[in-house]
Amino acid sequence: MSDFVKQNVQWFPGHMAKTGRQIRENLRLVDAVAEILDARAPRASANPDIARMTAGKPRIVLLNKCDLADDIVTAAWVRHFAATGLTAIPVDCKTGRGLKQFKTALSRHVEGKTRSNLAKGMAGKAVRVMVLGIPNTGKSTFINKLAGRKKALTADKPGVTRQNQWFPIGAGLEMLDTPGVLWPKFDDPAVGDKLSFIGAVKDSVTDTQTVASRLLALLAERCPGRLQARYALDTPLALDGAALLESVALKRGMRAAGGQPDTERAAAVFLDEFRGGKLGRISLETPEEA
């Protein structure tokens, strides 16, 4: 499937240089960065360019969608980031969990800047922050939640596409209302797989049945009980994803014309249920897994 994704990277409009430039321009305006990752796959959903682009600026990592990830694994990620000198905070932008901790951590990280503003007689000058991350990690939801806005600003294009606007988030802090969007990195095929599983790579550029089969095979290995419980599958579970997908179709009574299992429909339903947390809170990678 990852080869499939690679063949379809035209999905990425070819504006990467321009995107990088726009983000760099905006980075010049800010004192700190919030990098949003998906808590279910913090490594796969990271773009290593962010560390490079933001070198020298305080950076806080947000493990978003922590409501969908395994708490124990998320805690291990927090320790892992701490060991590398980064503050990571589990957040759930839908409910707002973790946002207070983010603001507290941010105030701490920019203390030096606040003090130097004071020393320069600019006590009222806000300390500014911007959000960075790959598509679909929840950047817009995060910004809207912090800004107390209902209506989402769309940020599905790379770069920072709108006129900059700043809004106060308390304690002398201001946030750029549009995130910087970077494309994910695909060098490792397993990364492409995980990004497809969590929906960070759109289904329209992948083969849904292949994605579903691969995820089924992974879950059969990692948490067979969840699959078994959700789809009443016979045990021991087949480890072959395609066979599992057929079983899901049959158990759900999904049959195509001719009576064959409707694996296309089953794939769409299964991916939807996984992404919606219906199989429980599942992390796809741990810090120990290289």
Q: Give whichever of 180 and 241 is closer to ligand G4P, judged by the CB atom.
A: 180
Give CB contacts under 8 A, 24+ apart, made by 95-104.
95/67, 96/145, 97/66, 97/67, 98/62, 98/66, 99/142, 99/145, 99/146, 102/34, 102/60, 102/62, 103/169, 103/170, 103/171, 103/173
Residue 99 Cβ, how far from ligand G4P at the closest point, in Å?
A: 10
Q: Give whichever of 49 and 113 is closer to ligand G4P, judged by the CB atom.
A: 49
Site residues, ligand G4P (CB under 6 A)? 64-65, 67-68, 92-94, 133, 135-141, 155-156
Residue 137 Cβ, how far from ligand G4P at the closest point, in Å?
A: 4
Residue 62 Cβ, how far from ligand G4P at the closest point, in Å?
A: 9
Q: What is the DSSP letter of 92?
A: B
Give me the DSSP letters along 43-54: TTT--THHHHHT
- What is d(CA 166, CA 189) in angstroms, rounded to the nearest whole number? 38
- What is d(CA 177, CA 163) in angstroms, rounded to the nearest whole number? 9
Q: Give whichever of 62 and 110 is closer to ligand G4P, judged by the CB atom.
A: 62
Residue 290 Cβ, how far from ligand G4P at the closest point, in Å?
A: 26
For residue 35, the SS3 value is strand
Q: Give whichever of 182 and 254 is closer to ligand G4P, judged by the CB atom.
A: 182
**For the chain, how are helix, strand and coil distributed in percent, rounded to 5?**
45, 15, 40
Residue 196 Cβ, how far from ligand G4P at the closest point, in Å?
A: 15
With contact defined as beta carbons under 8 Å apart, do 251 and 232 qualify?
yes
Residue 78 Cβ, how far from ligand G4P at the closest point, in Å?
A: 16
Q: Give whichever of 54 and 178 is closer to ligand G4P, judged by the CB atom.
A: 178
- What is d(CA 190, CA 219) in angstroms, rounded to the nearest whole number? 14
- What is d(CA 56, CA 140) in angstroms, rounded to the nearest whole number? 25
Determine the length of the chain. 290
What residue is closest to ligand G4P based on CB?
138
Q: Give whichever of 182 and 245 is closer to ligand G4P, judged by the CB atom.
A: 182
